[in-house]
């Protein structure tokens, strides 16, 4: 049997509430086939039929609950283009009904004690730099940001949590060598790109923004933070040209309330799980998808293509992050497939002023948290 078949069988066991390793599955298959004098393929087929006839996603406890919330075992068509369905009319977009301008400083990256200090701010402390930036931001409307672009930007807290609880642990695992290269496929005004570039373990960030006016804001923000030497901005549609071994971030444009239950939300004329595979095929080590909290990833496609998928829930109400990589890479660094991790603020850590540091975080298994 192929490695993909074994990984698929592992998933079949998982949705029954038990997680086996690949060697354990191989041993079980061999013993079962020998006992019944049939091939391992026939054993596999029988297990698949039994599991999926047995109300495969109907259980509401344990790991099965999170599989149901985050994944769908459905037929897929890589040729499907659902962009017409995804498109949200401007009259329905959130920025028209909400004023994000009063939160402008919360939508921009924050220097902290761990940040690289750019040459532009030499000899200044991180809080002095941040004070300068926070003072200037409200005056830069229509130059560095608009209410619309702010509505698409991630909060600085969530951005820090993505770094601390997803990206940095991957770097520590040795997956990227001595330094990471990151590609931000949907740059907007630079909130994510700048957040990543602030980290010492990130060598370079390449960021794409297709809209000329938004691209101009992106470049101004890169200059505002003094990070032109570390971030390359490109004014065009993402072209799948990525450095070998890079970390790629994709945040498809969507209005969550208008895309509930959307299965194929994408940036291209193909479902997002096919986009992720195309990025891996181009040489990336992994792809991080920022999706609506209602989104479910296609398990069938992941298993057939040898994708390893982990889910990170950013707090109780925010988006889900799907980390997609090659199964063999994930297995080498010890990640659990189809896992659900809850990322929350760790208020036990104190900042320089003795107050909780909300930019630090903790990550724990959502399944474990529910069981506890």
Whether residues 203 and 136 fall in one domain: yes
Across residues 10-35, what is the average pLDDT? Answer: 74
Tokens matching residue 163: 């770094």
Label residue 47 left, alpha or beta by phi (over 0 means left) and psi (-120 to 50 means alpha). Answer: alpha
Domain annotation covers residue 221: yes
Domains of the chain: total? 2
Q: With a threshold of 0.75, does the pTM exceed it?
A: yes
Assess whether pLDDT exceeds 70 at residue 293: yes
Note whether 285 and 323 are within 8 A (CB).
no
Domain annotation covers residue 299: yes
Euclidean distance between the first and the last CA atom of the chain, given in angstroms as a whole number: 37
Whether residues 300 and 178 fall in one domain: yes
**Calpha distance 245→76 (Å, rounded):** 27
**DSSP state string for 325-352:** EEHHHHHHHTPPTT-EEEEEE-TTSB-T
Per the structure, the complete domain to which residue 264 belongs is given by 83-371
Question: Looking at 40, 56, 72, which one is the last position of a domain?
Answer: 56
> Which residues sit opposite 309 in a β-bridge?
324
The vertex-76 CA angle with 74 and 78, nearest 5°, equals 160
Confidence tier at 261 by pLDDT (50, 70, 90): low
Check residue 88 and give its pLDDT: 66
Confidence tier at 54 by pLDDT (50, 70, 90): very low
Can you tell me whether residue 68 is helix, strand or coil? helix
CATH of residue 364:
3.40.50.150
Check residue 347 and give its pLDDT: 67
Check residue 60 and give its pLDDT: 44
Whether residues 22 and 128 fall in one domain: no
**Calpha distance 129→108 (Å, rounded):** 13
Domain annotation covers residue 36: yes
Q: Are strands 247-250 and 180-184 parallel, antiparallel or unpaired?
A: parallel
> Torsion angle, CA of 171/173/175/176, rounded to 10 degrees?
30
Whether residues 28 and 148 fall in one domain: no
Domain annotation covers residue 118: yes
- In the chain, the DSSP E strands lie at 71-72, 180-184, 202-208, 231-234, 247-250, 286-291, 297-298, 307-314, 320-326, 340-345, 361-365
**pLDDT tens, position by position, 209-243:** 999 999 999 999 999 999 999 999 999 999 999 99
Q: For residue 308, what are the contacts with CB-CB under 8 A and spacing of at least 6?
A: 302, 324, 325, 326, 327, 329, 330, 331, 335, 337
Whether residues 145 and 50 fall in one domain: no
Closest of 282, 283, 183 to residue 234, by C-alpha:
183
**Calpha distance 246→328 (Å, rounded):** 16
Q: Which residue has the tokens 């005004």?
A: 189
Domain annotation covers residue 250: yes
Check residue 346 and give its pLDDT: 75
Whether residues 28 and 87 fall in one domain: no
**pLDDT tens, position by position, 81-92:** 555 555 666 667
Whether residues 150 and 243 fall in one domain: yes
Check residue 51 and give its pLDDT: 52
């Amino acid at each position: 049997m192929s490695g993909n078949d074994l990984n698929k069988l592992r998933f079949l066991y998982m949705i029954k509430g038990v997680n086996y390793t690949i060697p354990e599955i191989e041993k079980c298959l061999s013993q079962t086939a020998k006992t019944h004098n049939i091939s391992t393929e026939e054993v596999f087929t029988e297990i698949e039929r039994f599991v999926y006839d047995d109300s495969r996603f109907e259980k509401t406890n344990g790991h099965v609950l999170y599989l149901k919330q985050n994944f769908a075992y459905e037929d897929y068509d890589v040729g499907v283009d659902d962009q017409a369905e995804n498109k949200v009319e401007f009259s329905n977009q959130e920025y028209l009904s909400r004023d994000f301008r009063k939160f402008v400083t919360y939508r921009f990256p924050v220097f902290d004690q761990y940040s690289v200090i750019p040459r532009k701010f030499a000899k200044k402390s991180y809080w002095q730099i941040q004070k300068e930036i926070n003072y200037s931001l409200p005056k830069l409307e229509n130059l560095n940001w608009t209410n619309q672009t702010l509505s698409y930007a991630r909060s600085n807290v969530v951005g820090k949590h993505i770094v601390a609880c997803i990206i940095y642990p991957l770097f520590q695992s040795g997956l990227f060598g001595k330094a990471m290269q990151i590609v931000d496929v949907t740059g907007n005004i630079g909130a994510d790109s700048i957040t990543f570039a602030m980290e010492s373990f990130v060598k370079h960030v390449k960021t794409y923004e297709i809209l000329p006016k938004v691209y101009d804001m992106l470049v101004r923000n890169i200059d505002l933070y003094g990070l032109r030497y570390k971030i390359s901005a490109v004014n065009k549609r993402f072209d799948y040209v990525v450095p070998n071994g890079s970390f790629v971030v994709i945040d498809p444009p969507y209005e969550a309330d208008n895309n509930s239950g959307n299965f194929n939300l994408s940036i291209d004329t193909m479902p997002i799980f096919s986009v992720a595979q195309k990025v891996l095929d181009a040489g990336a080590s992994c792809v991080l998808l920022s999706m609506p909290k209602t989104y479910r990833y296609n398990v069938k496609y992941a298993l057939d293509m040898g994708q390893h998928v982990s889910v990170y829930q950013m707090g109780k109400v925010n988006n889900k992050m799907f980390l997609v990589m090659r199964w063999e890479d994930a297995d080498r660094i010890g990640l659990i497939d189809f896992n659900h991790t809850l990322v929350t603020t760790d208020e036990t850590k104190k900042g320089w002023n003795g107050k909780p540091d909300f930019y630090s975080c903790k990550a724990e298994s959502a399944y474990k948290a529910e069981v506890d």
